[in-house]
């Protein structure tokens, strides 16, 4: 496929998923009232989706490696769009929960493919730009999502937030499946036992983080150990050893620190400082603006400083932003803190994702995309779960700094300067 069309599809898929989560948050109170649902039922409209997505992302990525990322992307987009339409027509909250799980399944199919398609369509030395564009688009979606959700809910009710992504999802799904060009795929064995063990592990992990319980923790530990032992012994593991692990740890730490900080800051802005939701959103606006700007600038930093120094510095900036917010009350201090958060997180997103995608072989691009998306789902869930223990923002700053440690391993993985010994390096363009 045309690389520009691939990029457009990748961006659209990522934005649809990002918008879906942000606008749903705005719609949930009205949904609860209109469907006469309990608070626990409303929680499951999000939890059911998260469990389905987290459980299947890596296996879905492997399916893309075997059968083609474009095919999985098309199926995922069509299913996601149809499930969204079904939720918008749902007669009761039970239907909403069930269809959200279905939507999560198709979301798991399309998300790894958005990165897998980029890895196949672009040579390694040109991946920085497309990944930066994709990250910037996600930042814009996160910024406008609450505004779009508020407008739709106020004007047409909660059902409108699910209809908004139906048309683009169906259009790009049909386009992806209509292309007749041969697609590169890999003849790999599907590790079904490994996929099942990982799905159970991640599903129970997410559920335990959302609703802590000793049984869920025990199941997560047992199946996690069984998965690791299985992967070490099988000839065709679900997660190839060639997929770098260090940037995944960075992404988990960065997203956990950001999400936990935003969760705490929302309550500080509205309850402690007495701001209304709109005023709170204005205070947070520098985060989205700087996230987009940082994503655009990051390819230049990667070329000049390399992934290790860029990522470590960005994690430090993220930590400083959290520390500023921990003592902020005035508009200037709050704006500065949120701006540093956006600059740090936007840079980390591009840099770490670039390492994951570029350093993974083309034949494992889907698995790499699935792992990246898994990290971006587990991290925020972990961050919000930590807030239940009433930790301070200083704790999240420590999480961000701890996340800089895995970045030290990037030198062994990628230097961005074409030095000998790296199996995928191509001299960067200047």
When comparing pLDDT for 201 and 157, which is higher?
A: 201
Residue 351: C-alpha distances to residues 67, 258, 299, 355 (Å): 28, 16, 8, 6
d(CA 140, CA 159): 23
Q: What is the DSSP string of 286-345?
A: HHHHHHHHHHHHHHHHHHHHHHHHHHHHHHHHHHHHHHHHHT--SHHHHHHHHHHHHHHH
Q: Which of 400, 309, 402, 320 is nearest to 355 (CA)?
A: 309
Buried b (16+ CB within 10 A) or exposed e, 375-388: bbbbbbbbbbbbbe
- Percent of residues, the chain, with pLDDT higher than 70: 93
Here the tokens at position 95 are: 């239907």
The yes-or-no verdict on residue 85 having pLDDT over 90 is yes
HSE-up (13 A, CA, CB side) for residue 342: 26
Mean pLDDT value across residues 343-350: 93
Q: Out of 80-84, 146-150, 152-156, 204-208, give the one with best mean pLDDT.
A: 80-84
Q: How far apart are CA 197 and CA 203, in angstroms?
A: 10
At residue 419, the pLDDT reads 41
Cα separation of the two ends of the chain: 27
Read off the pLDDT of residues 350-371 as tens digits, 9 standing for 90 and up: 999 999 888 888 888 888 899 9
Q: How far apart are CA 399 and CA 27, in angstroms?
A: 31
Give me the pLDDT at residue 185, please: 58
> What pLDDT is attached to residue 235?
81
Q: How confident is the model at residue 183 (pLDDT cuts 50, 70, 90)?
A: low
pTM of the model: 0.82
Q: What is the pLDDT of residues 260-313, one digit of tens each?
A: 898 888 788 877 888 776 777 788 889 888 998 999 999 999 989 889 999 999
* Displacement of CA 226 from its chain's centroid (Å): 26
Rounded Cα distance between 359 and 173, Å, is 28
33: its two tokens = 């009232």
Residue 427 confidence (pLDDT): 35
pLDDT in tens, 55-74: 999 999 999 888 889 999 99
Question: Token pair of 375, please?
Answer: 């990290």
DSSP class of residue 388 equals T
| Angstrom distance (rounded) from CA 161 to CA 58 | 28
- Joined tokens for residue 361: 């072989």
pLDDT per residue over 89-111, tens digit each?
999 999 999 999 999 999 999 99
**What's the pLDDT at 416?**
46
CB atoms within 10 A of CB 232: 9
Longest dimension (CA), the chain: 63
Extract the tokens encoding 351: 């840099």
Mean pLDDT of 12-19: 89
Where does the pLDDT of residue 344 fall: very low under 50, low under 70, confident under 90, or very high at 90 and above?
very high
Helices 331-359 + 93-121 axis angle, to 10: 60
Confidence band (pLDDT; 50, 70, 90) for 411?
low
Question: 242: exposed, middle or buried (C-beta count within 10 Å: 0-12, 13-18, 19+)?
Answer: middle
pLDDT band at 184 (very low <50, low <70, confident <90, very high): low
């Amino acid at each position: 496929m045309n690389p520009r069309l691939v990029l457009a599809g990748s961006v659209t898929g990522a934005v649809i998923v990002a918008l879906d989560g942000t606008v749903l948050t705005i719609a949930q109170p009205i949904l609860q009232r209109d469907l006469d649902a309990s608070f626990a039922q409303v929680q499951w409209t999000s939890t059911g989706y998260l469990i389905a997505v987290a459980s299947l992302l890596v296996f879905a990525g492997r399916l893309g490696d075997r059968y083609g990322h474009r095919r999985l992307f098309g199926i995922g987009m069509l299913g996601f769009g149809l499930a969204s339409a079904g939720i918008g027509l749902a007669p009761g909250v039970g239907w909403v929960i069930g269809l959200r799980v279905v939507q999560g399944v198709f979301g798991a199919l399309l998300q790894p493919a958005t990165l897998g398609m980029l890895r196949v369509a672009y040579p390694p030395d040109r991946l920085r730009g497309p990944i930066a564009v994709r990250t910037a688009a996600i930042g814009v979606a996160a910024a406008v999502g609450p505004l779009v959700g508020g407008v739709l809910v106020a004007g047409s009710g909660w059902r409108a937030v699910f209809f908004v992504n139906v048309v683009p999802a169906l259009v790009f799904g049909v386009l992806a499946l209509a292309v007749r060009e041969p697609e590169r795929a890999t003849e790999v064995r599907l590790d079904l036992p490994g996929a099942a063990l990982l799905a159970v592990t991640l599903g129970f992990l997410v559920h335990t983080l959302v609703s802590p319980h000793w049984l869920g923790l025990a199941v997560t530990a047992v199946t996690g150990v069984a998965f690791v032992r299985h992967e070490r012994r099988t000839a065709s593991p679900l997660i190839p050893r060639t997929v770098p692990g260090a940037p995944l740890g960075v992404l988990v730490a960065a997203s956990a620190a950001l999400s936990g900080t935003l969760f705490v800051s929302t309550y500080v802005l509205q309850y402690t400082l007495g701001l209304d939701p709109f005023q709170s959103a204005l205070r947070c606006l520098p985060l989205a603006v700087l996230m987009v700007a940082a994503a655009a600038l990051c390819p230049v930093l990667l070329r000049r400083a390399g992934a290790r120094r860029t990522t470590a510095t960005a994690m430090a900036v993220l930590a400083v932003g959290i520390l500023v917010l921990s003592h902020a009350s005035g508009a200037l201090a709050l704006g500065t803190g949120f701006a540093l958060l956006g600059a740090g997180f936007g840079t980390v997103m591009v840099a770490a994702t670039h390492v994951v995608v570029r350093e993974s072989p083309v034949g494992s691009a889907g698995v790499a995309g699935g792992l990246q998306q898994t990290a971006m789902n587990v991290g925020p869930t972990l961050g919000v779960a930590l807030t239940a223990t009433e930790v301070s923002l200083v704790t999240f700053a420590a999480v961000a700094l701890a996340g800089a440690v895995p970045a030290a391993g990037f030198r062994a993985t990628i230097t961005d300067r074409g030095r000998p010994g790296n199996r995928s390096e191509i001299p960067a363009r200047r």
